[in-house]
Amino acid sequence: MIPGVHADFSQDNGWTFLVKAVLILVFLLTSVLVAIWFERKVVGRMQVRPGPNVHGPFGLLQSLADAMKLLLKEDMTVTAADKVVYLLAPMISVFCSLLVFAVVPFGPEVRLPFTDWSTPAQLTDFPVAVLYVLACASVGVYGIVLGGWSSGSTYPLLGSVRSTAQVISYELAMGLSLVSVFILAGTMSTSSIVNEQTGRWFFIPLLPAFVIYVISMIGETNRLPFDLPEAEGELVSGYMTEYSSMKFAWFFLAEYINMLNVSAVCVTLFLGGWRAPWPLSAINDGMLNTGWWPLLWFLVKVWLLMFVFVWVRGTLLRLRYDQFMVFGWKVLIPAALGWLVVLSVVQYVRIGDGVSQTTLIGVLVAIGVVVVATVMFWPSKKVAPAAPPPAEFDAFAGGFPVPPMPGQELPPSPRARRRPVTVSVDAADGADADSDPQEGTR
Amino acid sequence: MTTTSGEAALFGILATLMVIAALGLLFAKRAVHAAMCVVFVMICLAILYVANEAPFLGIVQVVVYTGAVMMLFLFVLMLVGIDAADSLTETIKGQRWIGIVFGAGLLVVLVSVLASTDLPAAVGLEDANANTNPTGLAKILFGDYVIGMEVIGVLLVTAALAGLVLTHRQRLGARTTQRSMAAERVAALPEGRLLTPLPAPGVYAQNNAMDTPALGPDGQPLEHSVPRVLRIRGQQRTAAEVLGSEETLRSHLGLPAVGTALDDPQIPAIDEPSDHTSTEERD
């Protein structure tokens, strides 16, 4: 048994690991096929159209047909591309996205049918498993960055520069929200975190961290409304513009596997992992939390989050790039930091001073009421005295161009307004007369 | 503690690859290739750390160095330019020799420190990792070396603040925001400026060329829908041309003039509202 890890892998050997790894791979690849169909169908219903419905029952075979099409398309390599990196980039993306599920617990100890041989429904786990997930995600970004760079073209490069900035900023917020889980659970191993959520799922006590995680997980996977690296209206398709056929399909695959990854991590860290939801978990003394049942709850929760992804995509518009960055750095990260400080103090008081849960909640509610009351009854800001009239500003004082001093105002640039257009005589007879004041705006 | 054969094989393979990648860093022509070599070395190092029962160090190495630091490096490389080559001219006279002297000095200091170090007897991995590897590390970092950690923390925060201060620049004028632009538009309303964006040329008109003014809801051509440049050059189609063109079209096609009923169902009807107003206009 590995110290600090709840799941017991002592009975596993090389064969078990191999079988589990293959099963995870099969699970991921089929899930992606289903996810593409699911997304198109749900977005279709949200946009009041049927979605894919031609191939197979309910159009279920549509993604299979798409995959076949991608496989059989001509595989092009652009002349300006840096050949090796161009080929390597989609591989990095897919490879890193496949790694994450190795530490995600699908369920507790399960017994193989017809044998008395039991093993955790999880490939592996170690004391820093959640950090390993972050590491995989951060290496996976290299696929996007290098793909955009190696294409030797402008739009992909812009897409990859955006993606770098985006992932670095949103990974910070994500990491900070994960730290609050570590503080509460006291461990970074996934199976132990699920074990700590026996009584209550972490999204209840850690609601702010949960919200921050959900927002930043959408930013991290480059999905709408945060899909700026591949914004169609601005960058064609961003970093994958120059990719075709199977290499494109790999990027596509990586994107959908990443969606599954972040959903699974969210379920494991905040939504109780494989645990049955409350009324069900009480049935027959927790019968539904044992055996193969947990697999069902885990999948249901993951697909609920996948639905949230699609729902958000069908509802929200793409953010402007600067708004997106401001949101990440000025809202999410400070909020996550503040929450972390509050949580650390509360946790210190709870464990160090042995304060009971009821007292703690009472004190917290009281503090909350006081804060709200202070904010509400705080005297409004005094109106600042009117600023002194701007002093005369000489842009060429002493013969050199100089910037304005504080209190001085920059005179309007002579080029700010364009010269008005003279209305031609012909136009005057039928045209509306009030068009002239518009001239400055065009 | 002995090395198992698996460990030895792992080290043999990884060390060879790492040396090749490190040489690649030195000899790569393009900066991004060199950066990729560094990333490869870092990941191999992380694997070796994990194999040596230091999982926290290994994983954090990937998260921090590979995921953040090298990524920022790549970011800057891309911003500077794809094929920007380093210039090899010396900007400071004798720069190379000064560099070599300082490098040699650092080497002497490091070697003398290493030579005079008195390493305590190894505790053994079993004992060091007794309460799991991260907990053991945390106890040392935030117990024995807490002052050092805090000093480094203060140093880093100061450096970050210095970065902010050094890159800060004062605004010359007031900042234009979406809100201020909206207020400006409303304030300019009495002067006859529109709140909405200007109409695109050719909307609801006979053709969608740039020189054709759009037709307003009243069927009148909107002069300001034609780009300003065309108007200055006098290249826009005049209202008379626009309103007359339908008449011209009809006469070309041999159709009856506007106002009489269209008998031929094969010719699509030209939309009603503009018909109506243009007839009025010509009267």
B98-131 pLDDT, tens digit per residue, is 999 999 999 999 999 988 887 777 777 777 777 7
B236, pLDDT greater than 90 = no
Last residue of a domain, one of B60, B82, B104: B82
Of A112-126, A302-316, B28-42, which one has max mean pLDDT?
A302-316
Q: Is A156:A242 a contact under the CB 8 Å cutoff? A: yes
The reported pLDDT for the residue numbered B272 is 42
The average confidence (pLDDT) of chain A is 82
Task: Enter the pTM of the model.
Answer: 0.74
Residue with tokens 């990974």, as numbered in its chain: A171
Give the separation between CA A53 and CA A341, rounded to whole angstroms.
51
Contacts with B127 from chain A: Cβ below 8 Å = none
- Residues in contact with B94: Cβ distance below 8 Å, sequence separation at least 6, in sequence order: none
pLDDT-derived band at B73 (thresholds 50, 70, 90) equals confident
The reported pLDDT for the residue numbered B240 is 67
Count up the domains in chain B and report the number: 2
Measured between CA atoms, the residue of chain B closest to residue A402 is B172
* Range in A117-126, A388-397, B25-34 with the lowest mean pLDDT: A388-397
Q: Does pLDDT of B277 surpass 60?
A: no
Contact criterion met (CB < 8 Å) for A430 and B221 = yes
pLDDT on residue A323: 85
Cα separation, B123 vs A214, in Å, equals 43
The share of chain B scoring above pLDDT 90, in percent, equals 17
How far is the C-alpha of A20 from the C-alpha of A7, rounded, in Å?
15
**Is residue B212, in this structure, part of any structural domain at all?**
yes
- DSSP assignment of A272-295 equals -TTPPPHHHHTGGGTGGGSTTHHH
More confident residue, B260 or A200: A200
The A residues from 140 to 199 touching B (CB cutoff 8 Å) are 141-142, 145-146, 149, 152, 157, 160-161, 164-165, 167-168, 171, 188
- Residue B88: its pLDDT value, please? 62
Please name the residue of chain B whose CA is at the shortest distance from the CA of residue A168: B68
Q: Taking a C-beta distance cutoff of 8 angstroms, is the pair A88, A82 a contact?
A: no
Residue A125, C-beta contacts closer than 8 angstroms, at least 6 positions apart: A2, A5, A6, A7, A9, A103, A105, A189, A190, A191
Q: Is the pLDDT of residue A223 over 90?
A: no
CATH code for the domain of B27: 1.20.120.1200
B132 in a structural domain: no
Q: What is the mean pLDDT of residues A38-42?
A: 92
Return d(Cα A99, Cα A258) in angstroms, integer. Answer: 10
Instruction: Judge whether residue A293 has pLDDT over 60.
Output: yes
Q: Where is pLDDT greater, at B138 or A405?
A: B138
Last residue of a domain, one of B48, B82, B116: B82
Average pLDDT over residues A8-21: 82
Per-residue pLDDT, averaged over B201-209, amounts to 73
Start-end of H helices in B61-212: 70-80, 95-116, 125-128, 133-139, 146-167, 178-187
In this structure, are residues A168 and A328 in contact, taking their beta carbons and an 8 Å threshold?
A: no
Q: Greater confidence, A258 or A293?
A: A258
Secondary structure class of A110 (helix, strand, coil): strand
pLDDT score for A90: 92
- Domain ranges within chain A, ordered by starting residue: 75-336
Is B34 inside a domain boundary? yes
Quote the Cα angle for A350-A351-A355, to 5°.
40
pLDDT tens digits, one per residue of A189-218: 888 888 888 878 888 888 889 999 999 988
> How far is A119 from B41, CA to CA, in rounded Å?
35
CB pairs under 8 A between A and B: 148
Question: Strand locations in chain B, DSSP E?
Answer: 214-215, 221-222
Q: Do the chains contact at B238 and A418, CB–CB below 8 Å? A: no
State which of A150-164, A283-297, B78-92, B155-169 shows the largest mean pLDDT. B155-169
CB contact under 8 Å between B59 and A135, yes or no, is yes
Q: Is the pLDDT of residue A416 over 60?
A: yes
Under the banding of pLDDT at 50, 70 and 90, the label for residue B89 is low
Contacts of B193 in chain A (CB under 8 A): 437-438, 441
Q: What's the rounded Cα separation, in Å, for the pair A178 and A418?
A: 54
Grade residue A302 by pLDDT with cuts at 50, 70 and 90: very high
Amino acid (1-letter code) at residue A245: S
Most confident of A112-116, A301-305, A358-362: A301-305
**B153, pLDDT greater than 90:** yes
Secondary-structure percent of chain B, ordered helix, strand, coil, rounded to 5: 65, 0, 35
Q: With contacts defined as CB-CB under 8 Å, which chain A residues touch B191?
A: 437
Considering only CB atoms, B193 lies closest to which of A139, A429, A437, namely A437
Most distant CA atoms of chain A, gap in Å: 97
Q: With CB atoms and an 8 Å threshold, state whether A135 touches B66.
A: yes
pLDDT at A5 over 50: yes
Which residue among A188, A435, A442 sits closest to B227, beta carbon to beta carbon?
A: A442
* Percentage, residues of chain A above pLDDT 70: 90
Type of residue numbered B187: A
Q: Domain containing B228: what range? A: 203-282
Domain boundary among B82, B102, B127: B82
Q: Which two tokens stand for residue A8?
A: 């017991």
The span from the CA of A269 to the CA of A301, in Å, is 12
Bridge partners (DSSP) listed for residue A111: A118
Q: Which amino acid is at A360?
A: L
